[in-house]
Amino acid sequence: MDFTPSPRSADLTARVRDFIDSRIDPVEATILADVQARRDRGENPWTVHPVIPELQALARTQGLWNLFLPAGHEGPDAARFGTDGGVGLSNVDYAPIAEQTGRSSLAPLVFNCNAPDTGNMEVLLKYGSQEQKDTWLEPLLAGRIRSAFLMTEPDVASSDATTMAATARIEGDEVVLDGRKWWSTGVGHPDCAVGIFMGVTDPQAPKHARHSMVLVPLDAPGVRIERVMPALGQWDEPLGHGEVSLTDVRLPASAIIGGPGRAFVIAQGRPSSAWGTLATIAFGALALWCLLAVGFILFVANARRQRAAMRSRQLR
């Protein structure tokens, strides 16, 4: 397989890198320090720093917006919502862009390419009804709202999704959600308005046809964000990772994405985990570069000390 990026991909990758170097890197440390300072003062650390929407607006005017949109599924949305070239990108062409955005903790949010919004938007693009797209996809593509993915559970090994205990029962023309989810990325953001919930609909069906994915407004009765959780000592403001309880949450059956029992089919068509992997690789490469730089500085400093010690002995 030829992994050579297209000329368009190479151009977008270079422009993304330049935007990160010239616009994001100079302010990122200040923004992160401001978040920590607000937390230290006991103030709300989850409000969005005013520079972020300014950067988002600039990225959109430059066509560096929603670059994750997949070729063949983007419809008119790439042209309507700021992707330069007006069409989506193949996986091969988006991969180097995702790698570049992974160099910065803020860049994915600035380009509207952050998890879990990318995966949720891809799900709606591929499997959502027109009503679901109008209600949730359009404001997500515009960056007016954020979203969460409610899958992992505290009491089961959620790496095997067939073990889920949460339920999405169909009762008449309603779907009823019950369960507890945690490490739900995005729920800390003040603009997080909707989550995609995965739960068991038919426990008697074949193992991979039991579950459904459901769009749940986070202000629906019965939805409660119990807490926001740190990961490795970091809170990841303004997105965060939370524990969410759902108790007798009643929604129209039209909130089910793609129909009952289709969750595993949808999950297989949601490639955003690959972009997270690439971003992690890029962040790891940046960390390795920093370690090498520190090592080089220490090596030079040690060599200078040794030379100074040798001169001192010679003078004696």
* Per-position DSSP letters for 10-63, written without gaps between them: HHHHHHHHHHIIIIIHHHHHHHHHHHHHHHHTTS-TTSPPTHHHHHHHHHHHTT
Domain count of the chain?
2
Same domain, 186 and 241: yes
- Measured in degrees and rounded to the nearest 5, phi and psi for residue 21 equal -65, -40
* Assigned domain for 216 exists: yes
* Assigned domain for 289 exists: no
* Assigned domain for 298 exists: no
Spatial CA neighbour of 109 closest among 228, 189, 17, 9: 189
C-alpha neighbours within 13 Å on the C-beta side of residue 202 = 12
Q: Which pLDDT tens digit goes with each residue over 31-45?
A: 999 999 999 999 999
Domain that holds residue 259: 115-270
**In the chain, which stretches have pLDDT less than 50?**
none
* Assigned domain for 208 exists: yes
Same domain, 125 and 212: yes
pLDDT given for residue 7 in this prediction: 95
Spatial CA neighbour of 239 closest among 278, 192, 180: 192
* Assigned domain for 20 exists: yes
* Assigned domain for 309 exists: no
Spatial CA neighbour of 213 closest among 252, 172, 260: 260
Q: Kindly list the distances between the CA atom of residue 29 and the CA atoms of 135, 235, 304, in Å, as whole numbers in the listed order.
A: 35, 16, 31
Same domain, 222 and 162: yes
Contact between 213 and 148 under an 8 Å Cβ cutoff? The reply is: no
